Amino acid sequence: MITTIIGEHRLSTAILLASVVGGMFILSSLRRPRGRGCTISGPKPWPLLGNIVGINMNAPWLSYMNLTKEFGKIFLTTAFGLDIVVISDEAIARELLDVRSSKYSGRLSYPTAKPYGFDFHTAYRDMQLRKAHQLVTNILESPDNHREHIQTFASSVILSAAYGYQARPIKDRLVEKMTHTLEVIIQAVSPEKALLVGLLPFVKYIPSWLPGGSFNAASCRKSIGELSHGPFLCLKETIESESSVPSLGYSGVSRQSQISVNAPWASDQQLAQDVCLSAFSGEEQFSHPFTFSTLFVFVLAMVLHPKVQERAYAEIMSVCGIGRIPTFDDRQALPYVDAVIRETLRWYPVVPMGIPHTATEDDIYGDDLIPKGTIIIVNVWALTHDEARFPRASEFIPERFLTDEGTLTDERVDFAFGFGRRVCPGNHFADASIWAAVASMITAFRFEKVKDEQGRDIDFEPAWASGTTSYPQPFPCRIVPRNPGFDENTLSRL
């Protein structure tokens, strides 16, 4: 059974303070356009606060899923004057966000975007396998630090793809900086922090050394600047030496250098850095936390379901034999491994409220008006836990994605990456990274519960971190190499 940390007291305090002190900011910062309101039905709002009361802001997807029982698969909620349409049905989501994508391609404007410094704009498979092999090596050497190694894997594949930067296997300064900075970004765009900054703009100026200093915008901007500067210098050297290291930044900067051949490098430096940072801009930034969050969920699922990992391991052995980690050429022959990944995405979607859209013009759905500026949210959690579509939805059952013949069904969970023009652009990259890591870890390890002095499994109840993405908090885990001879020397020969 999946449980979620309630922890509502933090937001409750913030809402109380905002309600008393921040009324003036509501009208100025969050005022919606004048005109007719959205006519979709929903729960009756409270004055000023809207429907925030009674919503678990650390896990709103659970509260919204409960509201579907009374108000159906599409309903209206409000928060401080904002209309928010919540969709809990894939057909409705695809009708509005895919078929009518031109009307719902607006990006939600976070009040934390510009002041916190993340408003920048504008063939990797071999590398992903190498990074996955390094992940296995790192876990072999220090299994107790597996969470850190998974974060390093997610960060290093992004840095390599964006900058051509080759990170050290462990304790790489830029990898650590990226991990820290993206954690800051995730928290800065979390609903509760964005809401509080929108209501009380002065909190972003609280010095970092004072209580509440985690809201400090200058500190966040500094971290992002440092994140771009280090690998950018490496990229600059790559361009000047005419290296062919593939990366998004290399391609973009090379084109810009060819266009601006008469301009000195220094004049193009900021533009070039913006090209590199585009790998992390907008929804693209979610490919990194999506990857490591999903891998955390995978490890948890393996600990709780040993029969699943044994079946996946047996499938890999039947295709690859002992001593070889699967490559992407083996993927079609490993349907159960893919089924495990699909079930991981379904069982606990790490972006459970999806990527918000906004209506860019008025629209009519059925008999109801959806005005321009309305926020549209797809409750991905409700989609993945629909009992009619996924019976025993709270259980981890990869076989639900397999036919009787053992091949993959057409049932997919691609909506975990979003819908329409707001779909995560890094979805294919993240999918490949996750597959490489999952296949490698299943091959090399057994993930088990920790045992007590009598050799009995120690049960535990998973707890979940909350924010823009959600993932398991640290849990007891014992990682056992499957083959003592399968070490870093073996990996180096692959």
Look at the block and give the residue holding tokens 């790559």. 238
Helices (H) and strands (E) in the chain, counts: 18, 11
Which whole-number Å values give the CA distances from 264 to 9, 12, 232, 244, 407, in the listed order? 54, 53, 17, 22, 57
Q: Which of 277, 122, 117 is nearest to 185 (CA)?
A: 117
Q: Are strands 106-107 and 368-370 parallel, antiparallel or unpaired?
A: unpaired
Dihedral sign from CA coordinates of 481, 128, 400, 65: positive
The contacts of residue 372 (CB under 8 Å, 6+ apart) are 33, 359, 360, 361, 362
What tokens were used for 160?
Answer: 């390599």
Cβ pair 204, 212 in contact under 8 A: no
CB half-sphere exposure, 371, CA atoms < 13 A: 13
**Distance (Å, whole) CA 462 – CA 296:** 12
Helices (H), 241-326: 248-259, 265-277, 287-304, 306-320
Cβ pair 164, 246 in contact under 8 A: yes
* CA-CA-CA-CA dihedral for 31, 36, 39, 42, to nearest 10: 30
Look at the block and give the residue holding tokens 């904002």. 82
424 labelled binding-site residue? yes
**Distance (Å, whole) CA 368 – CA 356:** 20
Helices (H), 72-190: 90-93, 113-116, 125-141, 146-163, 173-188
**Distance (Å, whole) CA 45 – CA 30:** 16
CB half-sphere exposure, 92, CA atoms < 13 A: 19
The contacts of residue 69 (CB under 8 Å, 6+ apart) are none
Cβ pair 268, 168 in contact under 8 A: no
Q: Which of 108, 104, 66, 109 is nearest to 365 (CA)?
A: 104
- List residues forming the annotated binding site for heme: 424
**Which residues does the annotation place in the binding site?**
424
